[in-house]
Chain A
């Protein structure tokens, strides 16, 4: 997994509330057996002009010149709600998004972000709106800085805003850690749990 430490990037305001993972990637775009190529289906329903076409809709923000290079997304509350599909995060990551700033996130989506090197930052709506208007004033130059080491976002106006993230999630992003390896450190505890549990609930085990 790609590590995340700091970022200084163009931010795209997509200020809708409840952006669901069906909108981030519709099911018709995820019939793949690998993670590659999913960015083509990112926001397919909004990004292209006609159903099924690949002709870009010029009104959609990520199709507009400075925002085509955005690495940060600003959005409304409950971003990534709905389906658990990790394809949504893979599509965002492949497209180039490394950080999403929103008032709240769908829980499964938020977990998926951390496991794929995308930093979810929770800021209240007023702050997200303020960041969005600063960015809109001059999108190519009014960059947003994200520092995960210090847990600080620096707005284009130079103001610093602290954000919260659990130590475990921060560590995973900073180090590009892998949860399977972390868990397998507890192999003995897992084995001991299973042996004891088998005595308590033999019917759960079918081997």
Chain B
């Protein structure tokens, strides 16, 4: 028997009709995550054709993108705290879920949160599943050994109607990450360093498998941070081998299998890792022990450097110059010490409990600098509760940070949480695109530790120079 990769195993397990030269494969989808922004047009298509949702039980619905991060205790509140068009989108989601019989993790539920945070949290994300969502950061779920990728709204309609997708088989890219991370260096730094190395289209057409001793040593939340940003390297998906860490994370979660099903599932999951000798279309390696905390300086996530380094002068061309002008930075000069206006902790990349604990370890006993406004947005209502039970919210408030309800918030500035024009925001999110966080916003991507260090220093800072306090 030929050695198979993790991706090949999951792919083969879901082929309903094999692909041919003329036609893509019909691929079965195990879990469809939906939210209010990329689904209304898809539900309209179903309505126009009189089609029902084929598998409401395999469809997990929440609201996160345009939702306010101030409390919404009743739907009457919504019009007060949300912009009219956002409120309309949210109401439409509630109506669509009601009409099509889909359970909605909405404002009245303590399970609501960012779609890529609650999938794993509820135990719906599992190894070996095919998972899709009308959101490019669906790659997050690959941390569990699932094949998970973002789709457009037409495809959302397709999955709702058929529970399948038409897919061409992507190529595979093995990313070998070995070595022990130095203190102050985290998963976010690994993925930023990787994208800087292979480029924002370095993974195009490929599914990445992240492998090696560094990956095996990471907890699930750190693994999710890496897989989350696979799309920022252009990859179709990112995956990691399920192991005991994965199994322990899922054990006892509400939607995880129970009893005999659990035992059978675990057996199947632990057989999913790539066989020894499995081949990949491409391979790259990264020495994790040499990594430093990373930050971005330009307008895509590949424009990243170690926090102590100067902006490289090796780039040229009009696109690079435009990025430098937009960011008001200069090649040859460091980002370190640049004054910061805003710090955003949140998004599907870095808003989980361990991220918040890291932020608290920097903020404890310190103050957010006078020139900085800091917004901390937990990834889900469950994380919010967990953080509050640990007293993290008090650490944040005492430092002068703003502690909010869960949602995508300032990552994409769709819910009213935006960065004012010209301001510099150090953000734990995933994209530093021009205008992403607000018109004229200048975004610097960093890990939770580096972002927190910037908040208390008032400027871009090296987190390794600050003692952390547990």
Within 8 A of A (CB), among B128-157: 128-129, 134-136, 150-155, 157
B179 at interface by CB-CB < 8 Å: no
A54 at interface by CB-CB < 8 Å: no
A4-12, A64-72, A100-108, A152-160: which one contacts chain B? A100-108
Contact A78 B201 (CB under 8 A): yes
Contact A197 B136 (CB under 8 A): no
Contact B58 A116 (CB under 8 A): no
Given known contacts A27-B413, A112-B154, A183-B164, is B26 in contact with A189 (CB within 8 Å)? yes
Cβ-neighbour of B153 out of A31, A86, A182 (below 8 A): A86
Contact A180 B85 (CB under 8 A): no
Shortest CB–CB separation between residue A34 and chain B, in angstroms?
7
B334 at interface by CB-CB < 8 Å: no
When distances are taken between beta carbons in the complex, the residues of chain B under 8 Å from A190 are 16, 26, 28, 162-164
A137 at interface by CB-CB < 8 Å: no
Nearest CB to that of B323 among chain A residues? A18
A55-63, A139-147, A199-207: which one contacts chain B? A199-207
When distances are taken between beta carbons in the complex, the residues of chain B under 8 Å from A51 are 421, 439-440
B66 at interface by CB-CB < 8 Å: yes
Cβ-neighbour of B41 out of A28, A86, A183, A204 (below 8 A): A86
* Docked complex Cα distance between A85 and B236 (Å): 15
B329 at interface by CB-CB < 8 Å: no
Contact A186 B414 (CB under 8 A): no
B168 at interface by CB-CB < 8 Å: yes
B354-362, B370-378, B397-405, B430-438: which one contacts chain A? B430-438
Nearest CB to that of A27 among chain B residues? B414
A76 at interface by CB-CB < 8 Å: yes
Residue interface mask A14-38, B partner, CB < 8 A = 1? 0111101011001110111111000
Nearest CB to that of A105 among chain B residues? B204
Cβ-neighbour of A22 out of B22, B255, B436 (below 8 A): B436
Shortest CB–CB separation between residue A61 and chain B, in angstroms?
13
When distances are taken between beta carbons in the complex, the residues of chain A under 8 Å from B264 are 202-203
| Band of interface residues on B | 35 or more
A194 at interface by CB-CB < 8 Å: yes
Contact A18 B28 (CB under 8 A): no
Contact B152 A111 (CB under 8 A): yes
Contact A34 B40 (CB under 8 A): yes
B245 at interface by CB-CB < 8 Å: no
* Docked complex Cα distance between A33 and B318 (Å): 36
Most A C-beta atoms less than 10 A away, residue of B162, B205, B257: B162
A134 at interface by CB-CB < 8 Å: no
Contact A20 B30 (CB under 8 A): no
Cβ-neighbour of B236 out of A22, A26, A107, A116 (below 8 A): A107
Contact A180 B157 (CB under 8 A): yes
Contact B431 A86 (CB under 8 A): no
When distances are taken between beta carbons in the complex, the residues of chain B under 8 Å from A193 are 16, 28
Q: A86-B134, A112-B154, A180-B45 are known; give 12 further A-B pairs, CB within 8 A.
A: A78-B204, A81-B201, A106-B204, A116-B154, A168-B23, A179-B158, A180-B157, A183-B26, A183-B161, A189-B17, A194-B28, A203-B264
- Using a CB–CB cutoff of 8 Å, the interface residues on chain A facing chain B are 15-18, 20, 22-23, 26-28, 30-35, 45, 51-52, 76-78, 81-87, 89-90, 104, 106-108, 111-112, 115-116, 166-168, 171, 179-180, 182-184, 186, 189-190, 193-194, 197, 201-207
Sample 29 A-B pairs with CB under 8 A, ordered by A number: A16-B319, A20-B431, A23-B434, A26-B436, A31-B37, A31-B85, A31-B88, A78-B201, A78-B204, A82-B433, A83-B431, A84-B136, A85-B38, A86-B154, A104-B201, A106-B234, A108-B136, A112-B152, A167-B22, A168-B23, A168-B166, A180-B49, A180-B51, A183-B166, A193-B28, A201-B265, A203-B262, A204-B129, A206-B57
The 3 closest A-B pairs by CB, nearest first: A203-B257, A31-B85, A51-B439
